[in-house]
Amino acid sequence: MKARPRKRALAAAIFCTSILAACTPTASQFMPRYAEGTSPRGFIVCHGYGCRLESNIALSSEEWLAVRARFAPAASDAATERAQIAAAVALVEGQVGLRIGTSAHQRRDLLNRDDTQMDCIDQTSNSWAYLTMMEEDGLLRYHRVGEPAYRGGLLTFDLSNTAVIIEAASGKRFAIDATMVDAGKPPPVEPIEQWMAETEPVWSVQPYRE
What are the backbone dihedrals phi and psi of residue 78, each rounded to the nearest 5 degrees, phi first?
A: -65, -40
Cβ atoms within 10 A of the Cβ of 183, count?
Answer: 19
Please state the pTM of the whole predicted model.
0.80
Nearest to 131 by CA among 23, 35, 49, 26: 35
Rounded distance between C-alpha atoms, residue 50 and residue 26, angstroms: 10
Could you report the per-residue pLDDT of 4-49, keeping only the tens digit for each? 444 343 333 333 333 344 565 566 666 655 555 689 999 999 999 8
Choice between 170 and 157, residue whose per-residue pLDDT is larger: 170
Average pLDDT over residues 55-59: 94
pLDDT 10s digits, 62-115: 999 999 999 999 999 999 999 999 999 999 999 999 999 998 877 766 677 788
Read off the DSSP letter of residue 164. E
> Of how many residues is the chain composed?
210
